Amino acid sequence: MEFQLTDEQKQLREEVRKFAEEEIRPVATEYDVEEEYPYEVMDKAADMGLLAPHVPVEYGGVGYSSVENAILTEELFAADPGIGLCVSSAGFGAEALMEFGTDEQKERVLPEVTAGDAVMGSAISEPQAGSDVTSVATRAEKDGDEWVINGSKMWITNGTVADYFVVVCETDPEIDDRYSGYSQILVEGDRDGLTRDKITGKLGIRASDTAELRFDDVRVPDENLIGQRGMGFLQLMQFFDETRTAVAAQGVGIARGAAERALEYAEEREQFDRPISDFQAIKHKLAEMHTNTEAARWLTYRSAWAVDNESGDLTALASMAKEFASRTAVEVANEAVQVHGGAGYVNDHDVERLYRDAKITQIYEGTTEIQKNIIARELLDEGV
């Protein structure tokens, strides 16, 4: 496959990089330390058209492709993963509305999100249901023309700040098929019975809001059902290739940010009357860091291209990209701290934060172990 960025995509990269350098990097440490949601940055991101840019133009988005979203995500995460996630996650769950939602649902929710007037959240994980989505126990029961929801959700991005949630619920427990009987339901954040508790003390991405949600007889109208009843799990599976590619782009951004900062520091820091970049040990670290970052980038772009072109090898590629790029992020951030020495162990330098932030890319949207299982399954069962 011959692949290169178009002039428009290169321009997008430069514009987002400028925004990230001017609006995100200067305040990143502050929001990380305070574990606060960056409302001011989000307003500026909305003005730039960076919130849910994959949403079609008719609903206020830009209609970016997966490749363009990967470019955007890399730039945001190279500046700061915590705030970068806030920007890139503003439309979490929008895919479900775009693909399966009614016209009324799309017209009501999507323009608010793209304009920066609302934030979305995707509520899937539960205390006992992480990698195994079919263990979801949150129940939605039909009562007349309403759904009554009971249960809890854990580790929900945008949990205390979101105005809308796409909630995965069990709606038909009597169905024996393991992958049926689940539905996605749109729940407004101000519904009675919905309690949201912010989770603090996270290792990384501290600017990003994470919460536990509890549903106690939360009532929503029947028209909030997204798509066909009982098909929620199968609907959800259609987006994992896309979202895992996005996490791969996050990993590339973290790795690039760490590698660039390590290079800058190595050229400035002197020991034994010369820059530490003169020493072969440091040179080799820098070479490996930048090489692996570049490899992760092109694997991620290949996966993003496969998303846009509905390539038959997409599932394997998405898991390969996610697994490799997240591992690269962790390894490169680790080496960046090592290059900085003691200075890298405190938050005077960004690499300390990048090191903590990198780990989450190996956990959410399917752990590293899950990605390896998927890759092996595709190789063995389908000959990819």
- 136 in helix, strand or coil? coil
Number of H helices, E strands in the chain: 13, 10
* Close Cβ partners of 219 (under 8 Å, ≥ 6 residues apart): 143, 146, 147, 148, 149, 191, 192, 193
Q: E strand or H helix at 15, and its extent? A: helix 7-19
The active-site residue out of 365, 369, 378, 382 is 365
- For 189-227, letters b (16+ CB in 10 Å) and e give beeeebebeeeeeeebbbbbbbbbbbbeebebeeebbbb
Within a 13 Å sphere around the CA of 184, how many CA atoms are in the beta-carbon half? 29
* Close Cβ partners of 5 (under 8 Å, ≥ 6 residues apart): 13, 71
C-alpha distances in Å from residue 326, one per residue of 70, 204, 251, 305:
14, 14, 5, 19
Within a 13 Å sphere around the CA of 212, how many CA atoms are in the beta-carbon half? 9
Contact between 124 and 155 under an 8 Å Cβ cutoff? The reply is: no
User: Is 365 a known active-site residue?
Assistant: yes
Contact between 326 and 303 under an 8 Å Cβ cutoff? The reply is: no
Instruction: Provide the greatest CA pair distance for the chain.
Output: 79
C-alpha distances in Å from residue 59, one per residue of 106, 108, 151, 279, 362:
7, 9, 32, 54, 33
Contact between 207 and 35 under an 8 Å Cβ cutoff? The reply is: yes
Contact between 304 and 70 under an 8 Å Cβ cutoff? The reply is: yes
Residue tagged 């705030």 (tokens): 83
Burial of residue 268, with CB atoms counted within 10 A of its CB: 0-12 exposed, 13-18 middle, 19 or more buried: exposed
Q: Which residues are catalytic?
A: 365
